[in-house]
Amino acid sequence: MVTAGFVAPYLLDTTTRFVAAAARLPDVRLALITSEPADRLPPQLRDTLAGHWRIEDPLDPGQIAAAVQGLSRQLGQVERLLAVLEQLQVPLAQVREHLGIPGMDPVTANNFRDKDQMKTVLRAAGVPCARHKLAVSAAGALEFAGRVGFPLVVKPPAGAGAKSTFRLDAPGDLAAWLEMAPPMPERPAQIEEFLTGDEGSYDSVVVNGQVVWDSVSNYLPTPLEVLRNPWMQWVVLLPRDIGGPEYAGIRQVAPQALKALGLSTGLSHMEWFRRPDGSVAVSEVGARPPGAQITSMLCYVHDFDLYTAWAALMIHGGFDPPPRNWAAGTVYLRGQGAGQVRATHGLDALPPEVTSLVVDSRLPRPGQPSSGSYEGDGYITIRHPDTGVVTAALKQLVSTVRVELG
């Protein structure tokens, strides 16, 4: 029997699904460390937990360590400590090191969390990635821009996805950004050359330093392009066949990147670009499961439960690679304009050959505030054995379904 602690600041739907999967594992006693009081836990989840410890700040390694020690006194020594939130990976690694719990160490966790450190490690290992600089002053940002040229991307050094990420196309954009949010020693900014080409993700499982399973997706278009163009809808496609030459480059480079960053055992999510000349470059890597419904899409294309498989990987250290029998795609329903969702149009105009492919959806609810995110206000996920069929259906969904805001 393994006693494990799962740190989850708030029990959002996806997080709850990961926690519930871990709690259902045989020979595992799972305790939840959270800011949620016990009476707010879903009853079906609360009944499966061996313990619960509430802390005020679930990102504070000191409070996490105290919770782990308290649970160890109640349940026996906590032997594994896990979380899906990217912002928790460094604090958890610090607690593991402090308490002697196996798992990712702080150096490795920081390699994945600190984007400047990440690219420094990758470039030193010969992994292609964008030129970059951690700017702590306007002068540093101007120097980098003068050396590299435009366009550029600026982002938080510990960001996730495309949040708080901006593209600067010309000196005027740089000047406006420096006036609005100038980098300072206490508030540095990651500034990088802008990578062009096709973007996607590379998700993989590493066991004892070896990639034992991987998946590739295509972003249509890129998240940053969607953020810059409010009329665009984001689409993620997971093709059935990833063994072709179009994915050979990233499948060769990605394991080198993960080795350089120090991942020993775990699931990682990598953003990557295929440049116009066919070469690839790594954008960012997270040592955690993918977001934006991609974890669920991976369940659909492989006919297995990745939520449970991830929990078993992190607690027991093993993974049974599943076959890839399907293609899948998700359209993220993004409202046009501003305000609250008023209505979703076009659903009744979809033909049966599209609606029959739907395996998952969360439609925008009238009255809900618009997210303002490239992930939109809802989604529709489809799958079919033929990638071409999925691609055609995704195009029809994008051109037919419209979310009205107001």
Q: Which of 93-102, 218-227, 257-266, 273-282 has the lowest mean pLDDT?
A: 218-227
Q: What pTM did the predictor assign? A: 0.90
Average pLDDT for residues 76-85, to the nearest whole number?
Answer: 97
pLDDT for residue 205: 98
Average pLDDT for residues 200-218, to the nearest whole number?
Answer: 97
Model confidence band, residue 160 (pLDDT cutoffs 50, 70, 90): low
CB atoms inside a 10 Å sphere around CB 329: 29
pLDDT for residue 317: 96
Model confidence band, residue 55 (pLDDT cutoffs 50, 70, 90): very high
- Torsional sign, CA 10, 11, 12, 15: positive
pLDDT for residue 159: 58
Average pLDDT for residues 349-362, to the nearest whole number?
Answer: 97
Report the C-alpha gap between 296 and 303 in whole angstroms: 10
Asked if residue 158 has pLDDT above 70, the reply is no
pLDDT for residue 338: 81
State whether residue 170 is helix, strand or coil.
coil
Report the C-alpha gap between 34 and 45 in whole angstroms: 13
Element housing 84 (H / E): none
pLDDT for residue 68: 98
Average pLDDT for residues 381-405, to the nearest whole number?
Answer: 96
Asked if residue 162 has pLDDT above 70, the reply is no
Average pLDDT for residues 48-75, to the nearest whole number?
Answer: 97
Instruction: Say if CB 81 and CB 101 are below 8 A apart.
Output: yes
Average pLDDT for residues 111-131, to the nearest whole number?
Answer: 93
Q: Which of 77-86, 146-155, 390-399 has the lowest mean pLDDT?
A: 146-155
| Strand 80-82 relative to strand 51-54, pairing | unpaired
pLDDT for residue 118: 94
Asked if residue 60 has pLDDT above 90, the reply is yes
Kindly report the average pLDDT of the chain as a whole number: 93
pLDDT for residue 392: 97
pLDDT for residue 163: 56
Q: Higher pLDDT residue, 115 or 270? A: 270
Cβ contacts of residue 58 below 8 Å, gap of 6+?
7, 8, 9, 33, 34, 35, 64, 88
CB atoms inside a 10 Å sphere around CB 217: 26
State whether residue 45 is helix, strand or coil.
helix
Interval 293-347: pLDDT, tens: 999 999 999 999 999 999 999 999 999 999 999 999 999 999 877 889 999 999 9
Report the C-alpha gap between 130 and 385 in whole angstroms: 35
Percentage with pLDDT > 70 across the chain: 98
Interval 174-196: pLDDT, tens: 999 998 888 999 889 889 888 88
Average pLDDT for residues 202-217, to the nearest whole number?
Answer: 98
Q: Which of 35-44, 51-60, 131-140, 224-233 has the lowest mean pLDDT?
A: 224-233
Report the C-alpha gap between 56 and 296 in whole angstroms: 30
Model confidence band, residue 397 (pLDDT cutoffs 50, 70, 90): very high
Instruction: Say if CB 48 and CB 28 are below 8 A apart.
Output: no
Model confidence band, residue 402 (pLDDT cutoffs 50, 70, 90): very high
pLDDT for residue 166: 81
Report the C-alpha gap between 311 and 231 in whole angstroms: 38
